[in-house]
Amino acid sequence: MAGQNGDLQGDVFYPPEDIVKNANARDWEQMQKEAAEDLEGFWEAEAEKYHWFDKWDQVLDDSNPPFYKWFTGGKTNLAYNCLDVHVQNSNRNKLALIWEGENDEQRTFSYYALYRETCKFANILKALGVEKGDRVTLYMGPVPETVMAMLACARIGAIHSVVFAGFSKEALRERVEDSQSKVVITQDAGYRNGSEVPLKQTVDKAIRHVGFVENVLVVQRTGSEVHMEQGRDHWYHELAEMPIASRDCEAEEMDAEDMLYLLYTSGTTGKPKAIVHTTGGYMVGIATTLRYVFDLKPSDRFWCAADPGWVTGHSYIVYGPLLLGATNFMYEGAPTYPYPNRWWKMIEYYGLNILYTAPTAVRGLMKFGRAWPDRHNLSSLRLLGSVGEPINPEAWKWYHEVIGYEQCPIMDTWWQTETGGFMITPVPSMPLKPGSATKPFFGVEADVVNDDGESVDPDEEGYLVIKKPWPGMLRTLYKDEERFKETYWSKFEDQGWYLAGDSAKKDEDGYFWVIGRIDDVLNVAGHRLGTAEVESALVSHDAVAEAAVIGVPDDVKGNAIHAYVILTVGYEGTEDLTDELVEHVADELGPIAKPANVEAVDSLPKTRSGKIMRRVLRAKAMGEEVGDLSTMAD
Ligand code: WT7
């Protein structure tokens, strides 16, 4: 493929010449070739760019697959690399974090300031009895203290488990219990869409019957009235005034394979999986992907508009940009508050250079028309990014033209909570095809295969697999090695490949086109939800005897949830009841899981082995032919 720079020709966009010339990954074909030839050599050279207290003995230990280890024997600390390293060099007074609250409040932190605040936070955690290896749950929104709290955990070797602040008390309880967190960190409340989200109150309800939570640390954000339980709950700002909260806290020397964090994500069954990420490989994985894909330069102001509660926020708000010494921008609230120009206004005001968001957000803003972005000068933008689901051509074009002024390459990054960082993704020097996440990142070997593990022909659909280990990969599922092996490694056990759970195609040029999940996992506004989770939430209501949930295409959210329920005898499918069921699901799982539609039915289509035939329901919901019904019970 060859073409003019800066042009969209047919379905290929060729990056502008100055972007290619200045890119960290200028010669992507060469880098790809070299990394493929010497995988360990590639990652080792990247690892050398960070601080290690002790160097590794071995780059990759693959003696016990699928339990791969990276940089074994190496000792390092993520927070040390994010902060101390910069405090010791000329970045000391550089802005590490610019934050804007939904209420227009602004806070900025230099690297030195963030270092001091993180040390303080770490000392407070220590004073609350948190030790290396302990789990700490965070139930917080996008505020600077979330960054500090995560870095503070990493600094002292505690394992953070961040629960997205949109999750319900039930979801929070389950995650606190599963991780056995002794300490929970939260805020009084957060601002979202002009309202206060009562975070502390949800924590109170969630841990009411959880015996082992000894301390709750509360960051004051809105100043709203909250209940403080004597002996258990502490205001962060009060402890921060005490002598325990000194500004120095030595970073724990962590083994490369020591656990860094747990992050719960949805799977095929009802119980969320706790993805385990460790220290050394994860650090190298996210820093390297960010360096080459978003081409981060010391002068850049980078905005990853995700929530810190998702992996995107972990890797590319909290850790990645700080590892590279960039300036990070973080925004607390809704994209449309108070008006749909909020994002564009901030990009102009702060002169942000890179915007990384999800197709659902692009579509959500596109809906309001181009007059909103057109009021602002967005020419500071150099690169755009997309993650969470395939980006549809309309959204790609709008993003490219209206936001990127036809000059910004769009980095469509395919990855997962499990992979830690980008896996299939362009770098800015590559020709792009709208809707394709392009090619595997340097050192990543991905393929599309059939049931027998054979590569499928170009443009044919198959399983997306990863054939070689990579440093940022999940190490296991917390306390569930069996499920780890079963979920990701059993389908292609003989070959030793990782099953991503997505279906995909590869075209003649070797570009990957991800289609979607092959398991019963929905993608609602870029968030992963298991159909089984929503079904169990419905069934936990007295009125519901049985439930089946499907995703149907939605213009903005990707998937909208449609629920079919069989009611318990004595209940009637009135509008009040369906409204109540929708609210019930929100209570159980969080507002993101709200079904768009609940329909009472007399029976559900099932196979003779009792499996719900979701494709039949989907066809019905969309008014399509139901197809082959030979396996249906009746
Ligand atoms: C699933 C992972 C990784 C952070 C966001 C979601 C889908 C993700 C893309 C993309 C097509 C994508 C996949 C994947 N997905 N990025 N660029 N193109 N699909 O993380 O919640 O772990 O979900 O999101 O289906 O398996 P996650």
| Contact between 78 and 283 (Cβ < 8 Å) | yes
Residue range 332-337: mean pLDDT, rounded: 97
Mean pLDDT computed over 459-470:
97
Q: Which of 264, 293, 294, 387 has the most ligand 1 atoms within 8 A of CB, as the residue to mutate?
A: 387
Cβ 385 vs Cβ 411: under 8 Å: yes
- Ligand 1 centroid distance, CA of 119 (Å): 34
Q: By mean pLDDT, which of 341-345, 381-385, 611-615 is the weakest?
A: 611-615
pTM of this structure: 0.92
Residue 415 CB less than 6 A away from ligand 1: yes
**Alpha-helical segments (H) within 130-268:** 144-156, 169-179, 199-207, 236-239
* Token pair for 527: 């968030």
Per residue in 50-91, pLDDT (tens digit) is: 999 999 999 999 999 999 999 999 999 999 999 999 999 999
pLDDT at 327 over 90: yes
- Cβ neighbors of 450 (< 8 A, separation 6 or more) are 456, 462, 463
CA distance 490 to 486: 5
The response to whether residue 311 sits with its C-beta less than 6 Å from ligand 1 reads: yes
What average pLDDT score do residues 337-358 get? 98
Judge if the beta carbon of residue 550 lies within 6 A of ligand 1: no
CB of 308 sitting under 6 A from ligand 1: no
263 lines ligand 1 (CB under 6 A): no
137 CA to centre of own chain: 17
Ligand 1 geometric centre to CA of 526 (Å): 7
CA–CA distance, 514 with 203 (Å, rounded to integer): 37
| 449 within ligand 1 shell (Cβ under 6 A) | no
CA distance 321 to 177: 32
Query: Does 182 contact ligand 1 (Cβ within 6 A)?
Result: no
Q: What one-letter code names the amino acid at 278?
A: T
Backbone angles phi, psi at 11, to 5 degrees: -110, 25
Q: How high is the pLDDT of residue 11?
A: 85
Q: Which atom of ligand 1 is nearest to the CA of 419?
A: 3
Tallying the residues shown for the chain, one arrives at 634
Q: Is 283 left (phi over 0), alpha (psi -120 to 50) or beta?
A: alpha
**Residue 557 pLDDT greater than 60, yes or no:** yes
DSSP state letter for 390: P
> Is there a contact between 159 and 165 (Cβ–Cβ < 8 Å)?
no
Which sign, positive or negative, has the C-alpha torsion 178, 183, 189, 192?
negative
Is the distance from the beta carbon of residue 518 to the nearest atom of ligand 1 less than 6 Å? no
> Is the pLDDT assigned to residue 555 strictly greater than 80?
yes
Query: Which of 323, 283, 330 shows the shortest CA–CA distance to 302?
Result: 330
The per-residue pLDDT for 579 is: 94
Is 312's C-beta closer than 6 angstroms to any atom of ligand 1? yes
Pair 466, 445: CB distance under 8 Å: yes
Q: How far is the CA of 187 from the centre of ligand 1 (A)?
A: 29
Q: DSSP for 333-388?
A: S-TTSSSTTHHHHHHHHHT--EEEE-HHHHHHHHTT-THHHHTS--TT--EEEE-S
Q: Nearest 5 degrees, angle CA 382-CA 29-CA 44?
A: 90
Mean of the pLDDT values across residues 601-606? Answer: 87
**Alpha carbon of residue 241 to chain centroid:** 34
Per-chain mean pLDDT for the chain: 94
Which atom of ligand 1 lies closest to the CA of 500? Answer: 26
Place of tokens 């690297």: 111
3-state helix, strand, coil split of the chain in percent (to 5) is 30, 25, 45
